[in-house]
Amino acid sequence: MLPDIRSQNRDTLAAQFASWNQPAYRLDQLLRWLYARRAASWDEMSNLPKALRAQLAAVYSLNLPQLVTKQGSHDTTQKFLWRLADGTLIESVLIPANPALYGEASDRHTLCISTQVGCAYGCRFCASGLDGFKRNLAPHEISGQILAIERWAATAGPESRVQSPKSAASSESRPETRDAGPGTPAAERMVNNIVVMGMGEPMANYDNLMTALRTLNAPWGGGIGARRITISTSGLAPRIRDLANDPLQFRLAISLHGATDEVREKIMPVNRKYPLRDLTAACEYYVTHKGKMITLEYILIAGVNDSLAQTRPLADLAHRLHAKVNLIPYNTVEGLPWSRPDDETCEAFASALEHEGVTATLRREKGHDIDAACGQLRLKTERAETNSEDAKTQS
């Protein structure tokens, strides 16, 4: 298989163009097709000579994720299920920055992206790890989620509520109506915030993740500010240190979910490898090196980690790391026994933290009704597909 062109950085492509004796402006034209116009085929690149397009096609593949299904309406959280070139499924969740209250569409969006197919970390409450780990996403499959959504929005239009796979395919040939990309401020892109909180453990696919994020951040690529990109990890301490040593200012969120080893170990096997002492030390290293605030994510799961006895050690950790705390009532997952605490328990937990002087926000989980917790849509679709294949073989 050929390497995908969107997994290459500008320097590599510049060297390739130089070896073909192509003038520098041709590279700028190409990059514009890739990241501003989000091209899905070489044929679209009408201002590049045909011979150059053929040369490129002989060396690189050019793939964007293909839309399989979309759930949710345009003024709320929408979930996208994509099929990759090898047939595997991944998902992304699009969240409007200001959910439209009076029917006005919001044009600023946060996109939650996946970094792996499945997950090897097996947190007990999470749908992403249920069927284990399949593979890492390549850089272009990570950045492609943003480009494919923007391409979809530009061609299908925000009024398009449900996109069938058939109409998604036919929209590929429609002309672009929006434009953004190299040199354009993030505010002009449809996706101007990225949270790496979809399927998979981003830090376990560190090199590909960083290649993708550098491209999304670069002025010749996505032009999205590093401060608008948040990476969430279940706690891979050595990679947190690597991120601290990286010159780019990406934000960091830690999926804590337990403030003592005893509680955390019950729900997150990763805690045995990197117990809280190691995780906290790595976070301290990040905070002092970057001078940036981190976020501690804490899902509230009934009877597991929602006791008020957890608020003191959680507050101690938050103070030590100068971190704020995001409290997220658990999103139920089909087939798993966990549930969210009632509203009073969540409020009491948040108040107790605030009482300890911690900045805590209690999030009403958006998209509860559309399986927005990571991994669920893919799992359902994959299982449905397997079942229908089983049914076919049996009949």
Which residues contribute to the site for ligand SAH (CB under 6 A)? 125-126, 197, 201-202, 232-234, 255, 297, 299, 328, 330-331, 333, 373-374
Nearer to ligand SF4 by Cβ, of 215 and 233: the residue is: 233
Structural contact between residues 233 and 239, judged by C-beta atoms closer than 8 angstroms: yes
Q: Please give the single-letter amino acid code of residue 389.
A: E
367 binds, among ligand SF4, ligand SAH, none (CB under 5 to 8 A by kind): none
Token representation of residue 153:
């929005």
CB of 91 to ligand SAH, least distance (A): 11
Token representation of residue 316:
């101690």
From the list 112, 123, 126, 374, the catalytic residue is 374
82 binds, among ligand SAH, ligand SF4, none (CB under 5 to 8 A by kind): none
Structural contact between residues 5 and 215, judged by C-beta atoms closer than 8 angstroms: no
- The CA distance from 126 to 197, in Å, is 12
Residue ranges that bind ligand SF4, judged by CB under 6 A: 119, 121-123, 126, 128-129, 200-201, 234, 255, 374
**Residue 374 is a catalytic residue:** yes
**Residue 365 is a catalytic residue:** no
From the list 91, 141, 201, 297, the catalytic residue is 91
CB of 207 to ligand SAH, least distance (A): 16
Nearer to ligand SAH by Cβ, of 206 and 330: the residue is: 330
Q: How deeply is 144 buried, as exposed, middle or buried, from its count of CB atoms within 10 A (0-12, 13-18, 19+)?
A: buried
Tally of residues, the chain? 395
Nearer to ligand SF4 by Cβ, of 122 and 157: the residue is: 122
DSSP state string for 99-135? --SSSPPP--EEEE---EEE-SS--TT-STTTT-EEE
330 binds, among ligand SF4, ligand SAH, none (CB under 5 to 8 A by kind): ligand SAH
User: Phi-psi region for residue 257, left (φ > 0), alpha (ψ -120 to 50) or beta?
Assistant: left
Nearest to 150, CA basis, from 142, 159, 158, 139? 158
CB of 146 to ligand SF4, least distance (A): 19
Nearer to ligand SAH by Cβ, of 61 and 339: the residue is: 339
Nearer to ligand SF4 by Cβ, of 36 and 299: the residue is: 299
122 binds, among ligand SAH, ligand SF4, none (CB under 5 to 8 A by kind): ligand SF4
Any residues with CB less than 8 A from the CB of 89 and at least 6 apart, and which?
68, 81, 82, 83, 117, 378, 381, 382
Strand partners, 287: none
CB of 211 to ligand SF4, least distance (A): 20
Half-sphere exposure of 70 (CA within 13 A, CB side): 24
Nearer to ligand SF4 by Cβ, of 60 and 330: the residue is: 330
129 binds, among ligand SF4, ligand SAH, none (CB under 5 to 8 A by kind): ligand SF4
CB of 349 to ligand SAH, least distance (A): 15
CB of 302 to ligand SF4, least distance (A): 18
Structural contact between residues 245 and 288, judged by C-beta atoms closer than 8 angstroms: no
Helix locations, 112-205, DSSP H: 139-156, 165-171
Strand partners, 193: 110
299 binds, among ligand SAH, ligand SF4, none (CB under 5 to 8 A by kind): ligand SAH
| 3-state SS, residue 362 | strand
Which residues are identified as catalytic? 91, 374
